[in-house]
C-alpha cells in the first residue's frame, strides 16, 4: 500500500472515475456565460485547477486560446498528452498555485470548475485566488466558477462512504465532515489493476471547505468585482444553498 497527497494516483484514474463529467457540457456552459455576462470579446481563457485538461482542450477546439494550470504535475502531464493527441496546439499548460496564478497576456475569462474553489481551505486563500482572477482579467471580463454547497457538505458528503468503479479500477471513498470547521476530509483508496491482473492499492487524502453564498459574495466584492450572478445549475436556474448541491457564480470586472 502506498500513500501520497493530491495528484499522483488520482490522476491515473481521474477520467475513468469521472466519465459522467462531459467536458462539452461544461464548455457549452462557459460559452453561454461569456455571451451573457462578459462585456468584452473573450478570446483568451485562463483555467485554474484544470486537472487532466478535458475542458481546456474542448474550449481550444472551439477557437479559444487557453492557458490552463494545476498544482499537480501528474495531472498536467496527462493533460499535455491528451492535448497533443487531440491536435490542440493553442493550450498552454503550467504548474501554478490557484492563489497566485499568472499568464503572459490578460484574459477575457477565468474559469475554475468542478468545486476546485472548495479545495482552498482558508478565507485568505480564497481571497487571494479571487484577486488573482480579477488582476488577470481585462475590463469587462468574467470569472466563472462553482462551489459545492452547504447542502452538499451536510447531506451528500457528510460522514458517508462511496464506492466508484470502472474497468480496471475501484475507489473506496470515506468522508468525515467537521460541522464546526466546515471542512470535509476525504480518504480515498484506489485499487488499480496491474498488467498481470493483480491489483495494487494506493491511498490519497484530500480536503474541502464549505463557503456560503454570503462568504463568496463578500470575497468577490473585496477583490474588486462589480457584478456577481448566482445560479443553481448550468441552465441558469435559481439557486438555494440549502437545497442545491452545486452553486455557480459569474463575476464581472468593471468596464
pLDDT digits (tens, 9 = 90+) for 129-165: 999 999 999 999 999 999 999 999 999 999 999 998 8
Longest pairwise C-alpha distance within the chain:
59
Q: What is the pLDDT of residue 3?
A: 39
Contact call for residues 55 and 23 (beta carbons, < 8 A) = yes
Q: Any alpha helices (H) in the chain, and if so which ranges?
A: 8-17, 23-37, 54-61, 73-85, 123-136, 150-151, 213-223
> Is this prediction's pTM over 0.95?
no
Q: What is the pLDDT of residue 164?
A: 87
Q: What is the pLDDT of residue 7?
A: 55
- State the cell numbers at 196: 498481470
pLDDT tens per residue across span 94-113: 999 999 999 889 999 999 99
Specify the higher pLDDT residue, 1 or 214. Answer: 214
Q: What is the pLDDT of residue 224?
A: 98
Contact call for residues 57 and 24 (beta carbons, < 8 A) = no
Contact call for residues 11 and 171 (beta carbons, < 8 A) = no
What CA dihedral angle connects 75, 76, 82 and 85, to 10 degrees?
-150
Nearest 5 degrees, angle CA 246-CA 51-CA 57?
Answer: 100
134 φψ region: left (φ > 0), alpha (ψ -120 to 50), beta (else): alpha
Of all residues in the chain, what percent carry a pLDDT higher than 70? 95
Answer whether 2-149+210-252 and 152-209 agree in fold: no
Q: What average pLDDT does this structure show over 56-78?
A: 95
Q: Which CATH number fits domain 152-209: 3.40.50.12780, 2.115.10.20, 3.40.50.2300, 2.20.25.110?
A: 2.20.25.110
Architecture field, domain 2-149+210-252 = 3-Layer(aba) Sandwich (3.40)
At residue 19, does pLDDT exceed 90?
A: no
Strand, helix or coil for residue 186: strand
Q: What is the pLDDT of residue 90?
A: 84
At residue 29, does pLDDT exceed 90?
A: yes
Buried b (16+ CB within 10 A) or exposed e, 77-105: ebbbebbeeeebeebbbeebbbbebebee
Given pLDDT bands bounded at 50, 70 and 90, which one contains residue 246? Answer: very high
Residue 167: partners with Cβ closer than 8 Å, 6 or more residues away? 16
CA distance 160 to 147: 19
- What is the side-by-side strand order in the sheet with 169-178? 2-4, 199-209, 183-193, 169-178, 161-166
User: Which of these ranges, 40-49, 147-156, 189-198, has the smallest mean pLDDT?
Assistant: 189-198
Strands (E), 159-245: 161-166, 169-178, 183-193, 199-209, 227-231
What CA dihedral angle connects 64, 67, 68 and 72, to 10 degrees?
160
Q: What average pLDDT does this structure show over 36-64?
A: 97
Delimit the domains of the chain by residue range: 2-149+210-252, 152-209
Q: What is the pLDDT of residue 6?
A: 53
Amino acid at each position: 500500500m502506498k500513500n501520497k497527497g493530491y495528484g499522483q494516483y488520482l490522476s491515473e484514474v481521474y477520467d475513468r472515475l469521472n466519465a459522467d463529467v462531459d467536458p462539452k457540457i461544461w464548455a457549452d456552459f462557459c460559452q453561454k456565460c461569456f455571451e451573457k455576462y462578459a462585456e468584452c470579446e473573450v478570446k483568451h481563457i485562463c483555467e485554474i485547477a484544470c486537472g487532466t485538461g478535458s475542458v481546456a482542450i474542448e474550449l481550444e477546439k472551439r477557437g479559444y486560446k487557453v492557458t490552463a494550470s494545476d498544482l499537480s504535475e501528474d495531472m498536467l502531464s496527462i493533460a499535455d498528452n491528451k492535448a497533443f493527441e487531440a491536435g490542440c496546439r493553442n493550450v498552454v499548460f503550467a504548474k501554478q498555485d490557484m492563489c497566485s496564478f499568472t499568464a503572459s497576456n490578460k484574459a477575457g475569462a477565468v474559469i475554475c470548475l468542478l468545486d476546485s474553489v472548495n479545495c482552498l481551505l482558508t478565507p485568505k486563500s480564497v481571497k487571494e485566488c479571487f484577486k488573482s482572477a480579477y488582476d488577470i482579467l481585462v475590463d469587462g471580463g468574467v470569472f466563472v466558477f462553482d462551489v459545492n454547497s452547504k447542502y452538499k457538505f451536510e447531506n451528500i458528503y457528510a460522514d458517508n462512504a462511496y464506492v466508484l468503479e470502472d474497468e480496471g479500477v475501484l475507489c473506496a471513498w470515506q468522508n468525515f465532515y467537521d460541522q464546526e470547521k466546515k471542512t470535509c476530509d476525504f480518504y480515498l483508496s484506489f485499487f488499480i489493476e496491474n498488467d498481470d491482473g493483480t491489483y495494487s492499492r494506493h491511498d490519497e487524502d484530500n480536503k474541502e471547505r464549505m463557503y456560503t453564498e454570503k462568504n463568496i459574495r463578500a470575497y468577490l466584492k473585496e477583490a474588486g468585482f462589480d457584478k456577481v450572478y448566482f445560479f443553481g445549475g448550468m441552465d441558469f436556474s435559481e439557486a438555494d444553498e440549502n437545497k442545491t448541491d452545486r452553486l455557480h457564480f459569474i463575476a464581472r470586472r468593471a468596464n
